[in-house]
Amino acid sequence: MIRAEGVTKVFGPNPESVKSLLEQGKSKDEIQSETGHVVGVNNASFEVGAGEVFCIMGLSGSGKSTLIRCINRLIEPTFGKIILNDPEHGEMDIATMDGPTLRRVRSQHLSMVFQHFALFPHKTVLANVVYGLEVQGRDKAEREELGKKYLEMVGLGGWENHYPDELSGGMQQRVGLARAVATEANILLMDEPFSALDPLIKVQMQDELIRIQQELGRTILFITHDLDEAMRIGDHIAIMDAGKIVQVGNPEEILVNPKTEYVAKFVEHADPTGVITAETVALPFSDRYFNRVGEEAGNQIWNRTGYTDVEFHVDTNGHLAKMRCEGNDVALHELEEKITESGGAPERHTDAAVHCTTDTILKRVLRGRAYSELPVIVQDAEGRLKGIIDEPELIHGILEKHGYAQDD
Amino acid sequence: MNDLIPMLSGSLGNPFELIDLPVDDWVTWFVDWLVNTFRDFFRSWVSPPVKTVMEGVQWLLTSTPPLAVLAGLFVLAWRAASWKVGVFAVVAFAFIGFMGVWDELMTTLSLVITSVLFCLVIGVPIGILCSRKDMTYTLVRPILDIMQTTPPFVYLVPAVMLFSIGNVPGLIATIIFAMPPTIRLTNLGIRQVPGQYTEAATAFGSTPRQILWKVQVPLAMPTIMAGLNQTIMLALSMVVIAAIIGAGGLGLLVFQGLNRLDIGQAFVGGLGIVLLAMVLDRITQGLGEKAPGSRASSDD
């Protein structure tokens, strides 16, 4: 949908002059002390697919806000291409297009949500929401109909004629969001949209965004300094440090395999339970960790090494046929069913176990453990036994953000 | 050695005796040239529009029955500011009427309305141009300084030479004197619009013209209104001076009163001007506070 190729922004009197220094791979600090030029963004490349939420995350001063402004040229990039794939016109380079084309692209393909909302204080909520449509030149009736529809979508139906200063911060950003989606642009640039909000409102707004995104399926470029936020809403995350993108990956990849020390430092304090999957933390079902202790009715019987009281009966297809604890058969349940059933205080079963798929997040697995004291069974999409998650795996997974297998 | 002391104490010690800049001659020559060359141009192109507007406004105000003027004034003040200002405006105008100088009040009011109208029509576009380019403002600024600081008496003479005596030269002098705040504050107001709003407008694909009219001018409105307020006050302060060259109204009462040492008449004229100033001030302040752009101040 949109692709950045080597986007670079240098601030200073003669930005072009530092090109050779950048090519030599000099750092932001070196260039600043040698030439006085500030490198805002250094050779950033990434691609965002249609319908994807792509988070760019970094601390303040890492260049993320500059980068997102280079995409719609609120800031002119010094070097690089920004390729927009427009279904009507094919591939276009935003970085080199002329003024009128740029305005058309901004008005029809790229809309933006701002950190401090930037709602026009002299316009009503509805007039704010339809601003982009007004610029597009749509007639009044159509504007108002669309405006009301999107206000309704962000939960602000009935607030049309109020002014922004009569709304709370969270509500103002809902208006900001409605204004951005109302233009029906397929790409949404969001510059730390929830950073100025209270923590509780922030989480609410994230949920709201996820819900709206499910409904509309826009392509979103989302800037944030909050890793948990990026992990929650991003399909992919790019981490920026001193103007450079240091790692791109999906949330679990970033969490489990931080490439640089900088990324590792970020990840250290992130909450892994919403990101890490059962597959990552599970003790893999292999003869390295399990002992074959016999056979019964055509099924092989396995023990976890060192734990003889639980038996796993595996059939020839690799499915778990039966599970036994201290000689008694154990009932097997779907994890999600048991989570929804056990609403109140957990009654921990010793005669029942739950099974889940490999992509189940750690948070769900933990809930499953509240239902049963026995290990959680991890199965792949075909139902084959992939591994188990017992207390040691859970603890290790939460603390170290990866499984035992990766330690060896 | 002996010659040095008298030299120092004489022409060398005082360099001003060496060179005599005949600026007064130059100005006389320039004004003569200006008047001879442009008198016809000014009398046939500048004078008529000012005169027509002035006469139109005056005709409207004097042919309307005073009671209707008072009613209109109340509605205007109430809508622009508040009903309290409306009551105050009506009481003030009625008081002036009861002092027996209603016609003079209407004349002064038409002088003020006309000159302020021209100040806005000319000043706001210049202010907008100044806000777009630093260069423009750099050029315009010294002209504004000259317009504002030159004592009005100084340009009354060329005004009379160009337009003869009467209301028109008074109006022209008033327009020149009262326009700078409109230009300055229009420029300032637009420049002060926070960058985040213009950035947002740009991000949605607005043209520079759309940004100007949909975002910058509305948000600058409170400041532009403050400029209007100052322009009105300056225009009022000119009415007495303009009376010297034949402009009528309350200013003429003051001027004649002073000439004849008729303190009573001068006081009546002066009081009328003060009350009119207060009424116009409250109304325009209300306009500034009610401008939609004034919501920007309560927003972060």
pLDDT digits (tens, 9 = 90+) for A261-293: 888 888 887 888 888 888 888 888 888 888 888
Q: Is the Cβ of B9 closer than 8 Å to some Cβ of chain A?
A: no
**A118:B199 CB<8 A:** yes
Which of B204, B206, B290 would you mutate first to test chain A, the one with the most A CBs within 10 A?
Answer: B204
Which one of A103, A119, A131 has the shortest CB-CB distance to B207? A103
Q: Is the Cβ of A120 closer than 8 Å to some Cβ of chain B?
A: yes
Q: Is the Cβ of A107 closer than 8 Å to some Cβ of chain B?
A: yes
Are residues A285 and A195 part of one domain? no
pLDDT digits (tens, 9 = 90+) for A226-261: 888 998 899 999 999 888 899 999 888 888 888 888
The residue ranges of chain A whose pLDDT is under 70 are 340-346, 404-408
Cα angle vertex A164, ends A162, A170, to 5°?
Answer: 110
Report the first-to-last Cα separation within chain B, whole angstroms.
74
Are residues A198 and A286 part of one domain? no
Residue A132 near residue A111, CB atoms below 8 Å: yes
Last residue of a domain, one of A254, A270, A286: A270
Residue A54 belongs to a domain: yes
Within 13 Å of residue A254, how many CA atoms lie on the same side as its CB? 33
Last residue of a domain, one of A249, A270, A291: A270
Q: Is the Cβ of A118 closer than 8 Å to some Cβ of chain B?
A: yes
pLDDT value at position B36?
86
> What is the identity of the amino acid at A23?
E
Are residues A307 and A194 part of one domain? no
Which of A122, A125, A131, A173 would you mutate first to test chain B, the one with the most B CBs within 10 A?
Answer: A122
Which one of A103, A111, A165 has the shortest CB-CB distance to B295? A165
Are residues A239 and A331 part of one domain? no
pLDDT value at position B212?
94
Q: How far is A156 from chain B (nearest CA, A)?
A: 20
Are residues A340 and A291 part of one domain? yes
Which residues sit opposite A84 in a β-bridge? A2, A92
Which one of B205, B215, B295 has the shortest CB-CB distance to A163? B295
Are residues A393 and A348 part of one domain? yes
Per the listing, tokens 């949330």 go with A251
Residue A228 belongs to a domain: yes
Per the listing, tokens 């303040």 go with A60
Which tokens sit at A149?
A: 């529809």
Dist CA A9 CA A19 (whole Å): 11
Give the contacts of A353 (CB within 8 A, at least 6 positions apart): A323, A330, A331, A332, A333, A372, A374, A375, A376, A377
- Counting the structural domains of chain A, the total is 2
Question: Closest-CA residue in chain B for A105?
Answer: B205
Burial category of B28 from C-beta neighbours within 10 Å (exposed 0-12, middle 13-18, buried 19 and up): exposed
pLDDT, chain A, mean:
88
The DSSP result for B150-175, as a single string, is: S-HHHHHHHHHHHH-SSHHHHHHHHH
**B214:A104 CB<8 A:** no
Are residues A82 and A13 part of one domain? yes
Residue B217 near residue A123, CB atoms below 8 Å: no
**A120:B215 CB<8 A:** yes
Are residues A308 and A401 part of one domain? yes
Per the listing, tokens 């009573």 go with B264
| Cβ neighbours of B300 in A, within 8 Å | 116
Residue A132 belongs to a domain: no
Residue A154 belongs to a domain: no
Residue B198 near residue B273, CB atoms below 8 Å: no
Which one of A110, A121, A183 has the shortest CB-CB distance to B295? A121
Q: Which domain holds residue A355?
A: 278-407
Last residue of a domain, one of A270, A289, A306: A270
| Cβ neighbours of B296 in A, within 8 Å | 121-122
**B299:A164 CB<8 A:** yes
Residue A93 near residue A81, CB atoms below 8 Å: yes
Are residues A341 and A195 part of one domain? no
Q: What is the pLDDT along chain B (300 residues), one digit of tens a residue?
A: 556 555 555 556 777 877 888 888 998 898 888 888 888 888 888 888 888 999 999 999 989 999 999 999 999 999 988 899 999 999 999 999 999 999 999 999 999 999 999 999 999 999 999 999 899 999 999 999 988 888 877 878 778 888 888 888 888 888 988 999 999 999 999 999 999 999 999 999 999 999 999 999 999 999 999 999 999 999 998 877 888 888 888 999 999 998 999 999 999 999 999 999 999 999 998 888 877 777 764 443
Q: Is the Cβ of B298 closer than 8 Å to some Cβ of chain A?
A: yes
- In A250-348, the DSSP E strands lie at 283-284, 290-296, 299-304, 307-314, 320-325, 328-329, 331-334
- φ, ψ of residue A41 to 5 degrees: the values are -130, 135
Are residues A90 and A209 part of one domain? yes
Residue A290 near residue A310, CB atoms below 8 Å: no
Cα angle vertex A259, ends A24, A269, to 5°?
Answer: 125
Q: Is the Cβ of B293 closer than 8 Å to some Cβ of chain A?
A: yes
Task: Look up the CATH number of the domain holding residue A308.
Answer: 3.10.580.10
Residue A382 belongs to a domain: yes
- Reference A320, options A347, A349, A296, A300; nearest CA is A300
Task: Look up the CATH number of the domain holding residue A217.
Answer: 3.40.50.300
**B219:A165 CB<8 A:** no
**B200:A120 CB<8 A:** yes
Which tokens sit at A213?
A: 């995104």
pLDDT value at position A408?
53
Dist CA A378 CA A385 (whole Å): 6
Dist CA A314 CA A320 (whole Å): 5
Question: Closest-CA residue in chain A for B293?
Answer: A122
Q: Is the Cβ of B190 closer than 8 Å to some Cβ of chain A?
A: no
Q: Which of residues 330-369 of A touch B (CB under 8 A)?
A: none
Are residues A224 and A283 part of one domain? no
Q: Is the Cβ of A247 closer than 8 Å to some Cβ of chain B?
A: no
pLDDT value at position B299?
40
Which one of A72, A122, A131 has the shortest CB-CB distance to B296? A122
Are residues A326 and A230 part of one domain? no
Tell me, which fold does domain B21-298 have in CATH?
A: MetI-like fold (1.10.3720)
